[in-house]
A and B are shown apart, each in its own frame.
Chain A
Amino acid sequence: DAKTTQPPSMDCAEGRAANLPCNHSTISGNEYVYWYRQIHSQGPQYIIHGLKNNETNEMASLIITEDRKSSTLILPHATLRDTAVYYCIVRVGAGGTSYGKLTFGQGTILTVHP
């Protein structure tokens, strides 16, 4: 699976949008971008995933560049409860030998402050 690069930490004011970047310049055509987060003392939580197109769900939006070498997770209105470590993960889809395997990088510690 392709490696990812994320900033170690970011700050965001409550109520503002949090934009978390991720670089995955070696991504392959059959690899998806996943985002998970881990709130302190809890297990990781799935947020969103995408292949080429931008995706949105009730938690966040995922913007993937046209060359797929980077992506941005957007939390539109951050709250204090969004303070967590955010992991960007790239993994293969169907048919890949890494099926089911998530390789976590160091992630970004997002701190939302009042």
Chain B
Amino acid sequence: DTEVTQTPKHLVMGMTNKKSLKCEQHMGHRAMYWYKQKAKKPPELMFVYSYEKLSINESVPSRFSPECPNSSLLNLHLHALQPEDSALYLCASSLAGTSGIDEQFFGPGTRLTVL
């Protein structure tokens, strides 16, 4: 299984809602990532988890709250979002070997619309 799955594929939420994005991989990878991609722009890194611990937070607003319950699962909890947070949210995973050289496998993304 060389796949990263993300659910839901599409999500529409109001500014007062609380929702969660889910990402799963069964490749034995120990690093997992959240990226945000606005239309016609490149992906931007948000968070990195390494061995279930948060290792990088790219100064993301607290209305985005990541969680890594186990090595296969990564969640992104959303609360009080703004319309400008509408974007494609991409999850990725990588082996996290000791060389630091590893390819990242990306999921198809969740298309989020905030009304």
Contact = CB atoms under 8 A, between A and B. Distances in A.
Contact of A96 (B92, B98, B100): B100
A62 B101 CA distance: 16
B42 A106 contact: yes
8 contacts: A41-B108, A43-B108, A44-B106, A46-B105, A93-B101, A94-B98, A95-B100, A103-B45
Interface of B: 4, 31, 33, 42-45, 48, 50, 55-56, 90, 92, 94, 96, 98-101, 103-109
Contact of A100 (B4, B33, B107, B109): B33
Contacts of A103: 45
Interface SS of chain A: helix, strand, loop or mixed?
loop
Nearest to B44: A104
Contacts of A94: 98-101
Interface string A39-56: 001111110010000000
Interface residues of A, number: 26
Contacts of B33: 100
Contacts of A34: 103
B100 A43 contact: no
Contacts of B45: 101-103
Contacts of A99: 100
A43 B106 contact: yes
A105 B99 contact: no
Given A94-B98, A100-B31, A100-B33, A46 B104 contact: yes
Interface in A67-105: 85, 87, 92-96, 99-105
